[in-house]
Structure 1
Amino acid sequence: MELTQNEKKLLVALAPLGSADAAALAEKMNTRPEAVVQYANLARERGLVEVERDVTRRYRPTEEGLAYVGKGLPERQLFESFGEAIPMRDLQKHPLAKIGIGWMRRKGWITIRDGVVHKTGNAPPGPDEVAFARVGETGEIPADEEGVLDLVKRGLVREEDEVTYTISITPHGRALLAAGLDLREEVGTLTREQIISGAWESLPLRRYDVTKLPRRVYPGKTHPYQRLIDEMRRVLFDMGFAEMSGGVVQSSFWNFDALFQPQDHPAREMQDTFFLAERWPLPEGYERVREMHEHGGDTSSTGWGGRWSAEKAQQCVLRTHTTSLSIQHLAEHREPPVKAFCIGRVYRREAIDPTHLAEFEQLEGIVMDEGVNFRHLLGFLKEFYAKMGFDRVRFRPGYFPYTEPSVEPEVYVEGLGWVELGGAGIFREEVTAPFGIEHPVLAWGLGISRVAMLRLGLRDLRHLYRSDVEWIRETPIYGGGR
């Protein structure tokens, strides 16, 4: 039986002990416990040793949990900080009030009447408190302790598994050892001199099993989603576009008003937009946008009517689209030609599910030049999607407050059918006229996270943002999951 040098060393180290854990053997063999387990598994396949794997589960405090060790859970600290009753406004001054009041109510320790907090009794410690007290005694909680899972759910302790391996030599292993083993160091690499002189014929050469697969090596790689974003950026650079950028915080003026979105539009309400406390001054010449909203300015438009509020336009928001950057770029570059794009994160107050997130990436593109028209817009979109691997593209009419005509491009995906991937159109005169832009502007905004889902074969948008190392390792560098 041909054994590797490491298997031989393992048998020699194990013989006087009979059995030992991997850590003790590693110290004796001057190697790592992980390496010992690897050698033992090879020897186990030959019947020379037995390997027993034992998992011990323990619960240790998190960073938040450590803050309460020796002091008690926050609700207990808060409960003991006052007498039989206390006004709610006074109790809320306690640093643990935000956490503790809810837990005291949930456990039935208090009632609240007419703005006053009353104790309901002595509140004896529950299983979670008894379990948490063990942390102060031993630094950890046994897995069988009642109440420990409640602490895990609260994020006060975390589950840790300690794996140990016990390795025992078999009678077959002892018999092989008694028969004698060649413990000379094996040669794994031949030198030029050994080959020329013929010395290699008498050397103890290391034997290799070419049928065994090597251990997988995972090189460092860019996140799959970031690779797709970089690919889109290269495609647009190749198409002659320049990249524009801007902050995620925008005034309502640039995010809504400059795009001829009425101030009473539903998208400007709290359920769709994250409003901030900051207010920014309006840019020079904002009066032309105001006039456009109120009566159409110097154009044939009648505007939205009513009174335009400068105060509402000054309020800052987390940008709901990157189109706010497009209109600012055009305001600074009024003469053709202009070809620019932006890939940036936008924010909307969405209910999170497999196809919706409160923050996601959007690709924004604009083309302004003499004589460009709707056919050019469709051509740009079709070319972009073709370069991204979508050969079948179609367009259906759409509506957006700041473009006319407007379309929603769709691509065909096997197994899914036609999938809508964004919106596009030509900026209305009400958008361009206040900034002195005299030529047509083609514009589009595409949800690139949905493109990424299709390319990577995902069914849940949230997977793009998870720290899933295994998924990153297994995703090919080139190609996608379609």
Structure 2
Amino acid sequence: MAELTLNEKRLLAALAKEKKADAEHLASLLNATPEAVVQWGHLAEDKGLAKVERIVKKIPTLTEEGIKYRKSDQLPETQILDAIKTGTTLTDLQKNDAFKIGFGQLRKRGLIQLNGTYVVKVPNASTEKENSILLCFDETGKLHADPALKFGEDYNQSIKEFVKRGIARESETVQNLLTITSEGTLRVNAGLDIREEIGTLTRDQILSGSWKNASLRKYDIKKLPKTVYPGKSHPYQRLIDEMRQILLEMGFTEMHGEIVQSAFWNFDALFQPQDHPAREMQDTFYLKEDAPLPEGWECLRDMHEHGGNTSSTGWGGKWNPGKAKQCVLRTHTTSLSIQYLAAHPEPPVKAFCIGRVYRREAIDPTHTPEFEQLEGIVMDKDVTFRHLLGFLKEFYQRMGFSDVRFRPGFFPYTEPSVEPEIWVDGLGWVEMGGAGVFRQEVTDPWGVKCPVLAWGLGVSRVAMLRLGLKDLRQLYLSDLEWIRNSPVHAPAAAGRKA
């Protein structure tokens, strides 16, 4: 026979009298909290002595709009339907305050027809049922009757429509019902020792020997304790923090900027031509707002049109200031790098940014319309392409990827350009982003005379490799089970090439 705790015995004794009761009522009888009663109930349930039933109910209440209709005792569609008489015209109905909403609802449900300028009801047109359900609420917005019993499924459909229209809202209430089983009743009838139990012996009890007559709490040394999940950051956030810490230790300064950028900084300042495919609507989220051009924008115009004061010939054609003023959700964090350089044109500069960017991508296991990007720049006298490779290799090795290689690449605003790759066991070489030396067309308009090393790396791709994921979307899900079971430190899934 399974041993019972004192609280389980007290609960069974109360249930033997009540037979079935909710947790709040039992809590008042046992001088405890409802949460404690549910916990004791589950313990008794594990032994087959009680049953705990969790009942979730959705309780509707009226919104401010719904309360307004309730005070007038009529839905807008009911008001309009009542106003339709023989010879009523559309112009007549438009004078009614409820016309805009009520007329639309009647047309949607097919309860009225337009014959020229006249409005007529269809046969048996009625909104009585919906209006009666509205009247089941009082003028404060709370239910004062149980319409489900009277209207059945029509009630559920009407409430769903009320919620959809913003007339009502639903909130969930949870009730825990506890019932004693036949085995529990037999256990109570056999007698329960409900004397106060002692869980810890005191010095006086030991010296006096009174412990011998005390009711000692029994412990099951074979039973595992309840799993405790400590609070911790999301695995993806921990990885971002790790990247940030590595770059700070490498002597970089973190830069920040707005999510909404002008096309000037997002595209033009990076020497992307205004007819570049990446600037089209299918790749970029454009906003209706415009942003003013910064001081000295004319130098950038000249760079695009004929190369300015450099040996470049530019892109030719006519550069459009209006197109540069358009606001976009930033498509990369490189827009922050060029602004940082414009504000800090003198060497040395070592800065990075980890931020979210936005592109019009179809959602699938490897693409999302928003993702994080790591951006870095180094500007100083005599820095070279070899320094860039060194920075990237150092960063990835600190992230736990031991094998790093580089292959030539092309980007509109860097020359030479390179794409770093890391070796991952089971996958082979994986491309991680892009890097290069900013072209003179990018730096010259802002008075930057020293070489600038720049790179942009996909944070989410690193996260997938480190966390062993196959679906990018899991990084953004509220999956508590995954978060709880993920280790605080996830080593890189990389290894030496065989």
Residue identity matched to 2:60: R
Shift of 1:323: 0.9
Choose 372-381 or 99-108, whichever is displaced more.
99-108
Question: Of residues 426, 429, 448 in structure 2, which corresponds to 1:437?
Answer: 448
CA separation of 1:173 and 1:292: change in aligned 2, threshold 3 A:
closer
CA separation of 1:54 and 1:255: change in aligned 2, threshold 3 A:
closer
CA separation of 1:401 and 1:50: change in aligned 2, threshold 3 A:
same
**Residue 263 of structure 2 contacts residue 323 of structure 2 at CA under 8 Å; is this kept in 1?**
yes
The alignment status of 1:60 with 2:60, answered yes or no, reads yes
Alpha-carbon distance in 2 for matches of 1:397, 1:117 = 73
Question: Of residues 129, 142, 153 in structure 2, which corresponds to 1:145?
Answer: 153
Alpha-carbon distance in 1 for matches of 2:186, 2:244 = 66
Partner of 2:235: 224
CA separation of 1:55 and 1:336: change in aligned 2, threshold 3 A:
same
Partner of 2:12: 11
Shift of 1:13: 2.2
Shift of 1:305: 0.2
Instruction: Map Cα deviations across residues 212-237 of structure 1 (whole Å, 9 max, x no partner).
Output: 23333333332333222211111111
CA separation of 1:164 and 1:282: change in aligned 2, threshold 3 A:
closer
**Residue 69 of structure 1 contacts residue 136 of structure 1 at CA under 8 Å; is this kept in 2?**
no
Residue identity matched to 1:189: T
SS in 2 for 1:271: coil
Partner of 2:316: 305
Shift of 1:134: 7.6
Choose 307-316 or 123-132, whichever is displaced more.
123-132
Partner of 1:154: 164
SS in 2 for 1:183: coil
Question: Of residues 132, 142, 167 in structure 1, which corresponds to 2:179?
Answer: 167
Alpha-carbon distance in 2 for matches of 1:62, 1:79 = 22
Shift of 1:414: 4.7
CA separation of 1:462 and 1:74: change in aligned 2, threshold 3 A:
farther
The alignment status of 1:368 with 2:379, answered yes or no, reads yes
**Residue 60 of structure 1 contacts residue 135 of structure 1 at CA under 8 Å; is this kept in 2?**
no
Partner of 2:32: 31
Shift of 1:35: 2.6
Partner of 2:357: 346
The alignment status of 1:85 with 2:90, answered yes or no, reads yes
Residue identity matched to 1:228: L
Shift of 1:430: 1.0
Aligned residues, how many? 476
Partner of 1:233: 244
Question: Of residues 234, 256, 264 in structure 2, which corresponds to 1:253?
Answer: 264
SS in 1 for 2:400: coil
Q: Which runs of 5+ in 1 are unaligned?
A: none
Shift of 1:338: 1.4
Q: Which runs of 5+ in 2 are unaligned?
A: 494-498
What is the root-mean-square deviation of aligned Cα atoms in Å?
4.1
SS in 2 for 1:15: helix
**Residue 235 of structure 2 contacts residue 488 of structure 2 at CA under 8 Å; is this kept in 1?**
yes
Alpha-carbon distance in 1 for matches of 2:430, 2:118 = 55
Question: Once the two structures are aligned, what percentage of the paired residues are identical?
Answer: 57
The alignment status of 1:40 with 2:50, answered yes or no, reads no
Instruction: Map Cα deviations across residues 189-242 of structure 1 (whole Å, 9 max, x no partner).
Output: 233444555554443222121222333333333233322221111111111111
Instruction: Map Cα deviations across residues 383-402 of structure 1 (whole Å, 9 max, x no partner).
Output: 22232233344434332211
Shift of 1:79: 7.6
Shift of 1:243: 0.7
Alpha-carbon distance in 1 for matches of 2:103, 2:400 = 55
Partner of 2:496: none
Instruction: Map Cα deviations across residues 403-460 of structure 1 (whole Å, 9 max, x no partner).
Output: 1222333344455554433222211111112222222211111222333334334444
Question: Pairwise mapping of residues 164-203 of structure 1 onto structure 2 (< 5 A)?
Answer: 164-168=176-180, 170=182, 173-174=184-185, 176-195=187-206, 199-203=210-214
CA separation of 1:77 and 1:154: change in aligned 2, threshold 3 A:
farther
**TM-score scaled by length of structure 1:** 0.82
Question: Of residues 248, 265, 289 in structure 1, which corresponds to 2:300?
Answer: 289
Choose 146-155 or 15-24, whichever is displaced more.
146-155
**Residue 60 of structure 1 contacts residue 141 of structure 1 at CA under 8 Å; is this kept in 2?**
no
Alpha-carbon distance in 2 for matches of 1:19, 1:473 = 36
**TM-score scaled by length of structure 2:** 0.79
**Residue 76 of structure 2 contacts residue 98 of structure 2 at CA under 8 Å; is this kept in 1?**
no
Instruction: Map Cα deviations across residues 218-274 of structure 1 (whole Å, 9 max, x no partner).
Output: 333323332222111111111111111122232322222111111222222333333
Shift of 1:51: 1.6
CA separation of 1:15 and 1:286: change in aligned 2, threshold 3 A:
closer
CA separation of 1:414 and 1:314: change in aligned 2, threshold 3 A:
same
